[in-house]
Amino acid sequence: MSALYGAAGVVHDAELTRVLLEAGADPNGEPHFGDALYHSVEAESPECLRILLSHGAEPRGSNALAHALDYDRAEHVRLLLDAGAAPNEGALLVHAVRRGCRPETLRLLAEHGAELDRRGGEWSTPPEHYKTAYQNAVLRGRDDLAAVLEELGASTELTAEERIVSAIARGERPQEPFPAELSPDAQEVLVAAALFGPLDLVRDLVGPDFFAHAGGGPPGTLLHHAAWVGKPEVVRRLLERGADPFARSGAEFDTPLAWAVLGSQAWREPGCDYVAVAELLLEAGAELEPRFVEVAEGPLAAWLASAAGAPAQGRRRPSRRRAR
């Protein structure tokens, strides 16, 4: 890690960033092209980003604009666009909708020339399953974003999948036949609906063995996804309805309990209780693996360490994309 990368992209120290740039640090090569700029948008304050841009940081090719959309930081997006970031370097309107951005962010992208009907998806989505920003807005129940896109002139064409899945997410039983195959975006919406909404309706329609993607991670059952987000009540209800605590996802850490262990990195999120999830899965017959103590975090790490008689520190953590 370079000093500039650390200043702008890790500790987000604007004054140190300025000093390093004035001393000759390369704003475009720290340590690789665009790294400092890309990570500077993670700070709530836009000052490090502003300083980098004023010293010649090049936004095109850095993916900094897409990353600013991950956090829906309007000022960061505006600064990048004004500095020449390309609004069509990827399907950024689709990305903004999928990341839950506000209507004004979509307007800002459109004002700078973002293609309204360009199709896109998660990095792992096959191109044949790409959707427009409008289709994604309807699918995800974002009527406010759909209205803005329609007002801006986007196509309002929908497929049966968007109509059916969005109805389910609202808790309505669809009138049209359920599709035999679902796109990754539709799978993600149904997983979210099961975790945070009409669980029984989703399970009735997709069955207990529904195997689905959520985000860019590998697929898993609803029980896997409930364990990943640390939702003990959902885990309990799924187990009561016949979910398999031994189900394999095919990833390096592939059981529901293994997903809970990796997901425990989010233990600070409101409503998460990974210890309760682990207890429910163990009661259902799941087995602890020695490696779990090496990767768990928060209360689950302490609980596992106590059970194994090992210290809850010095653990390594596989990346989410690789390990799940």
Average pLDDT over residues 55-60: 97
Q: How far is CA 143 from CA 24, 73, 74, 97, 304, in A?
A: 48, 21, 20, 11, 43
Torsion angles phi and psi, residue 120, rounded to 5: -165, -175
pLDDT digits (tens, 9 = 90+) for 213-254: 998 788 999 999 999 999 999 999 999 999 999 999 999 999
Domain 217-323, second-level architecture = Alpha Horseshoe (1.25)
pLDDT digits (tens, 9 = 90+) for 251-281: 999 999 999 999 999 999 999 999 999 999 9
Report yes or no on whether pTM surpasses 0.85. Answer: yes
Instruction: Return the amino acid letter for 283.
Output: E
Domains of the chain by residue range: 1-86, 217-323
d(CA 64, CA 62): 5
Q: Is the model's pLDDT at 324 over the cut of 70?
A: no
d(CA 294, CA 310): 9
Q: What is the CATH number of domain 1-86?
A: 1.25.40.20
1-86 matches 217-323 in fold: yes
- Alpha helix ranges (H) inside the chain: 3-4, 14-22, 35-40, 47-54, 64-71, 74-82, 92-98, 103-111, 133-139, 143-152, 160-169, 184-196, 199-206, 222-228, 232-240, 256-263, 274-283, 292-295, 298-308, 320-323
Q: Is the model's pLDDT at 311 over the cut of 70?
A: no
| Residue that the structure tokens 């300083």 belong to | 51
- In angstroms and rounded to an integer, the radius of gyration of the C-alpha atoms of the chain is 22
Q: Give the SS3 label for residue 97.
A: helix
What CA dihedral angle connects 103, 174, 238 and 259, to 10 degrees? -40
Q: How far is CA 19 from CA 9, 79, 185, 210, in A?
A: 15, 21, 44, 54
d(CA 291, CA 306): 14
d(CA 160, CA 258): 35
Q: CB atoms < 10 A from the CB of 71, how many? A: 15
- Beta-strand relationship, 220-221 and 211-212: antiparallel
| pLDDT more than 90, % of the chain | 88
Burial (0-12, 13-18, 19+ Cβ within 10 Å), 78: middle
Peptide bond into 31 cis (omega under 30): yes
pLDDT digits (tens, 9 = 90+) for 148-170: 999 999 999 999 999 999 999 99
